[in-house]
Chain A
């Protein structure tokens, strides 16, 4: 990609960021919340895409990192009186550490075995949060001190989204990203051509863990109450995966488009078909999967609207 194309893309991100920054001043509470959730799903989808899209290791358990971040914030704010912002860093460090420790054994597994192992890991994390009640308050959950956190959390999520987009963009358009793609395409051949697959996979796994953790922390501070089922909700992982796949996993713009589109559809179906929104939502996903199996970006590449490859 030429220099001017990078500048154009970054300028576009800046424009969107600025628009989102000014939006709370003119939008209703509902729309502000809608935008916050949309930004959160952009973060989650982009993060999932780093390990599952770029590297080809499909994770069914990434909600574990989201939950870790949520609990880090809730515990430190509610029980130790911390200001919420530094707790996001703690959540990121804890999630990154867990990713390193977990990554070494599970990244030796391939395909469905890795996916299931991650599902197990997420469930294990939920169970730990439920039974370790001296730390997590167990099934009772944790209530944070009451406050109007809507503006703070909105701008925190906006900042996180911009940062995640920048990181995903950098990964996607770099030789680091090319090497992750090589692992996805053919790990044996990649190793024979000099790629230390273990190291690269671990790096991608850690990178994909820290942003969901921060998003979880922000969400915890927004809703002011968390418990294991709400933050280790498997549907969050499903949403990450669907949004990334709908938009086009393995690309940078794909998860962003997928998150915005799918979350918007989800909200519209919930609002307009309150009793049947899951059916309508499900039908939408089936249609997309049937007619665009490589997602929207795959369609755009096949039609020649977007160039092939990430590095040109």
Chain B
């Protein structure tokens, strides 16, 4: 990233798009503490989170999924869910929440299956449910539609909208423009580590700069 700066609107679904290698996942990694920024700030509710460890960022109510699923493969679906809650949370509360979310993503019949034996789409759902265990306020979804069939994707998008209706802030990195244009209220566009555009879907769709970035078309 190179001097990239943006403000995510609270309580909305935002999209973060750009060509491959533009820095989208790197942005998520910096926001969540996996990569510390060399410079700059990550302001969340008035606090600068830059330089915090990932678990410290998580404790402030920010969670994420990964571009390539990172479910815990040799642990069951239930164990994947239970791994998220701190030990101070009573067992019954953690289990109840886990079961509720497993049902939320329709994985109840697979609760005793290893994460690594789920289909790719099911792993996406598991990762999504796992990210919600502690009822975070900011949810970063990295390519939630990749490798997911249309039916499952619609189910996932329905759940995302339900979360937004409950006041959650969601940022989605995606290459699927149908998802971005039809479900995001605000879109940021990156190219070579720099934000090149932001705005509502209609403005982004008509942006010459965005088209240049994706298609490398010479401006006439």
Taking beta carbons and an 8 Å cutoff, which residues of A are in contact with B?
A: 175-176, 178-179, 181-182, 185-186, 188-197, 250, 307-312
Contacts and interface: CB of A to CB of B under 8 A. Distances in A.
B117 to A, nearest CB: 9
B73 interface: yes
A175 B87 contact: yes
A200 B131 CA distance: 20
B112 A193 contact: no
B83 A308 contact: no
Contact of A309 (B73, B78, B85, B94): B78
Contacts of A186: 70, 72
Interface in B49-81: 53-55, 58-59, 63-64, 66, 70, 72-76, 78-79
Contact of B79 (A190, A191, A310): A310
B82 interface: yes
**Residue in B33, B53, B75, B94 with the greatest tally of chain A CB atoms within 10 Å:** B75
A192 B114 contact: no
A64 B132 CA distance: 42
Given A186-B70, A188-B34, A312-B112, A194 B75 contact: no
Given A185-B72, A185-B75, A195 B55 contact: yes
Contacts of A185: 72-75
Would you call the interface of chain B mostly helix, strand, loop, or mixed?
loop
A178 to B, nearest CB: 5
A191 B133 CA distance: 14
A195 B32 contact: no
A248 to B, nearest CB: 12
Interface in B74-124: 74-76, 78-79, 82-87, 91, 94, 112-114
Nearest to B58: A194
B195 interface: no
A308 B186 CA distance: 43
Contacts of B133: 193
A312 B95 CA distance: 10
Given A194-B85, A308-B114, A309-B75, 12 more contacts: A175-B83, A175-B91, A178-B83, A188-B34, A189-B66, A189-B70, A191-B54, A192-B63, A193-B84, A307-B112, A308-B76, A312-B76
B76 A175 contact: no
Contact of B85 (A175, A190, A197, A311): A175
